[in-house]
Amino acid sequence: MTDIQSLPYRPCAGVMLVNRDGLVFVGQRLDSVLEAWQMPQGGIDPGEDPLDAAWRELWEETGVAREHAELVATAPDELTYDLPDDLIGKVWKGKWRGQRQRWFLFRFSGEDADVNIATAEPEFRAWRWAAPADLPDIIVPFKRHLYRQLLEIFAEELETLRRA
């Protein structure tokens, strides 16, 4: 039995991509049968800058190029979540207890046709735009607290983008 508390958190970058209507990109993971949606996120490579990782993950998971997005805000602190007990040791080769994430808010300036989840290594089977307030209800339960924190952190910027 692995001592969960002794496992480190996986360093990760996350992207909240907001369109002109103030809605947020969410995708359904290919490796899950749950009706759960999530924003683009992924590991930060050793020595990689978190913002560079966010841009890379955005491209790898959504096909959205830099010319169709711009950085609006950065969460001031890392956020963490723990995996549920039944997933510890089953994901990420059992090396991590959860993730510590740097989050970035990007404004999407492209069209829906500029989103392409059929990337070189696809992670999503479907995607859609969701109202920010709906995010905690459509994510897997163990990430709900983190998504609520993100809504608080980016509240002012989300309101500004919604009114723009």
pLDDT > 90? residue 5: no
For residue 88, being part of any structural domain is answered with yes
Query: Quick one: pLDDT band at residue 3, thresholds 50, 70, 90?
Result: low
Sorted by sequence, the CB contacts under 8 Å of residue 163 that are 6+ apart come out as: 22
DSSP label at 89?
A: T
- One-letter amino acid at 80 equals T
Assess contact for 42 and 50: CB atoms under 8 A: no
Query: Which pLDDT belongs to residue 143?
Result: 92
SS3 assignment, position 25: strand
Kindly report, residue by residue over 39-98, the tens digit of the pLDDT: 999 999 999 999 999 999 999 999 999 999 999 999 999 999 988 877 777 767 778 888
3 lies in a domain? no
Residue 82 placed within a domain: yes
Q: How many domains does the chain have?
A: 1
Give 118-159 pLDDT, tens digit per residue: 998 899 999 999 999 999 999 988 899 999 999 999 999 999
CA 24 to chain centroid: 10
Q: What is the reported pLDDT for 87?
A: 74
pLDDT the model gives residue 154: 98
Phi, psi of 13 (to 5 degrees): -120, 145
| pLDDT band, very low/low/confident/very high, at 2 (cuts 50, 70, 90) | low
Q: Which of 15, 12, 14 is nearest to 100 (CA)?
A: 12
Residue 2 resides in a domain: no
Check which CATH number belongs to the domain holding 17 and give it: 3.90.79.10
Residue 101 forms beta bridges with which residues?
12, 79
Report field, pTM of the whole predicted structure over 0.85: yes
137 within domain boundaries? yes
The answer as to whether 121 is a domain residue is: yes
Tokens found for residue 134? 């709906």
Task: Give 1's pLDDT tier (boundaries 50, 70, 90).
Answer: very low
pLDDT at 62: 97
Question: What's the domain range around 146?
Answer: 8-163
